């Protein structure tokens, strides 16, 4: 058990220039832990809710001073001088908030405290953070995740006009995490030349990937395949993942794609058929959020039709929520689950979500958010619970690179990917 002596929070800026929280937890032993909270742009309606100030005269209403006050006053008064472990703390925070989606105190305030305590407690125990996290699930076998590098941005993460939100590199055919990072940066450099040669502007999106106004979603995939080949690699060594973020395309029972300067409306069946054509042409290994967040029947049909060929990843569908993951299991809706700490709001609930996913034989896929900080917690989370995949953006911006650098550092300690 550990005792919290103080909680302090401050407002910092995330990678999109929006306010977020940084929380520092001091234990009675003198151990300190600090954590900052990311924020998403493409968020599901079932996610835990951030608390924002709503004062339009300050940061356009996005300030987090109320959340900071909740950390330093109500939360601290509730947990101070109590004997706590991670589970007891997180359950106390959930009960104190008293809402289904953590909207009263704010999921951002609760998560900041949960993660800062984890770091402080790991320091008190003199163990690396990944080992501490592993201990929460009884895991002592640590491995490096397969990185997925976001290299072309669309959807809510860029103004490229592309319907698909993320196009990712999967350098699967290499023995170490360090080598996978090297290969990804080489392909990205080659992709930059290809995009420029086609006459497109080399802008970037929220997660560091290029955001050119390409003629079609397929052209983005063509550019990636060409870049892989020109960099000297093959489609068996480097494959592709896509995050369609389809909830943003869905309205009135249909999906509307606007790329290529024309609107095209698709039914669920037509979306699945489109994915089947993409799988025939491109080396795609997973499709995230291929359908809308409540299209349960569609996800079940998609998994039945192409789940043996590709990972069907739930994100907005499952939102790191054990109840929705259990519903996905009941409906056989997916075969992989995206894991985002701030979708659910505590470390304990996140660990439970990963455990349920793995027990089902599905793939847990740890993820960053579009609004990131220099916090590297997700790197230790992925290793500590031996998660199969991680995505942290393009290795071209510091708030993304720091996660990959932390994983390289861990690899030097625990061994290869």
CA-wise closest residue to 336 among 319, 316, 361, 355: 361
What Rg, from alpha-carbon coordinates, does the chain have? 21
Tokens (6 digits) for 101: 């989606």
The catalytic residues are 207, 340
What does the DSSP 8-state code read for residue 358? Answer: H
What does the DSSP 8-state code read for residue 32? Answer: E
> How many Cβ atoms sit within 10 Å of the Cβ of residue 261?
9
Helix (H, G, I), strand (E, B) or coil at 98: coil
Cα separation, 203 vs 229, whole angstroms:
23
Please classify residue 145 by burial: count the beta carbons closer than 10 Å to its beta carbon, then call 0-12 exposed, 13-18 middle and 19+ buried: buried
CA-wise closest residue to 343 among 354, 334, 332: 354
Residues, the chain, total? 417
**Across-strand partners of 149?**
169
Cα separation, 412 vs 176, whole angstroms:
10
Cα separation, 133 vs 351, whole angstroms:
8
CB 160 within 8 A of CB 212: yes
Cα separation, 369 vs 150, whole angstroms:
12
CB 170 within 8 A of CB 224: no
């Amino acid at each position: 058990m550990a005792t919290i002596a103080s909680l302090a929070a401050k407002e910092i800026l995330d990678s999109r220039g929006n306010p977020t929280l940084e929380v520092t937890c001091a234990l009675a032993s003198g151990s300190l832990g600090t954590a900052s909270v990311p924020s998403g742009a493409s968020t599901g309606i079932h996610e835990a809710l951030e608390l924002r100030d709503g004062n339009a005269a300050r940061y356009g209403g996005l300030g987090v001073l109320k959340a900071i006050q909740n950390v330093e006053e109500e939360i601290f008064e509730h947990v101070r001088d109590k004997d706590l472990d991670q589970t007891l703390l997180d359950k106390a925070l959930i009960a104190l908030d008293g809402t289904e989606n953590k909207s009263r105190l704010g999921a951002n305030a609760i998560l900041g405290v949960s993660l800062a305590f984890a770091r402080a407690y790991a320091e008190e125990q003199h163990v690396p953070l990944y080992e501490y996290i592993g201990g929460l699930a009884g895991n002592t076998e640590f491995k490096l995740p397969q990185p997925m590098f976001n290299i072309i941005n669309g959807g809510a993460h860029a103004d490229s006009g592309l319907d698909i939100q993320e196009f990712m590199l999967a350098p699967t055919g290499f023995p170490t995490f360090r080598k996978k990072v090297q290969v990804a940066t080489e392909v990205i450099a080659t992709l930059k030349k290809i995009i420029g040669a086609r006459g497109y502007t080399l802008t970037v999106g929220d997660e560091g990937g290029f955001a050119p106004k390409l003629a079609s979603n397929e052209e983005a995939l063509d550019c990636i395949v060409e870049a892989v080949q020109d960099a000297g690699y093959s489609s068996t060594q480097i494959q592709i993942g896509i995050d369609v973020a389809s909830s943003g395309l869905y309205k009135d029972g249909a999906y509307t794609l606007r790329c290529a300067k024309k609107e095209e409306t698709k039914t669920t069946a037509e979306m699945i058929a489109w994915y089947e054509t993409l799988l025939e042409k491109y080396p795609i290994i997973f499709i995230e959020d291929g359908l809308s967040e409540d299209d349960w029947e569609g996800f079940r049909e998609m998994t039945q039709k192409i789940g043996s060929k590709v990972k069907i990843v739930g994100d907005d569908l499952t939102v790191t929520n054990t109840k929705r993951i259990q519903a996905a299991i009941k409906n056989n809706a997916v075969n992989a689950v995206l894991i985002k700490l701030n979708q659910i709001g505590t470390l304990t609930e996140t660990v439970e979500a990963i455990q349920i996913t793995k027990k089902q034989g599905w793939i847990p896929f740890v993820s960053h958010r579009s609004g990131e900080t220099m916090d590297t917690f997700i790197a230790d989370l992925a290793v500590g619970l031996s998660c199969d995949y991680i995505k942290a953006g393009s290795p071209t911006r510091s708030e993304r690179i720091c996660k990959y650098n932390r994983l390289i550092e861990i690899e030097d300690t625990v061994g290869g990917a």
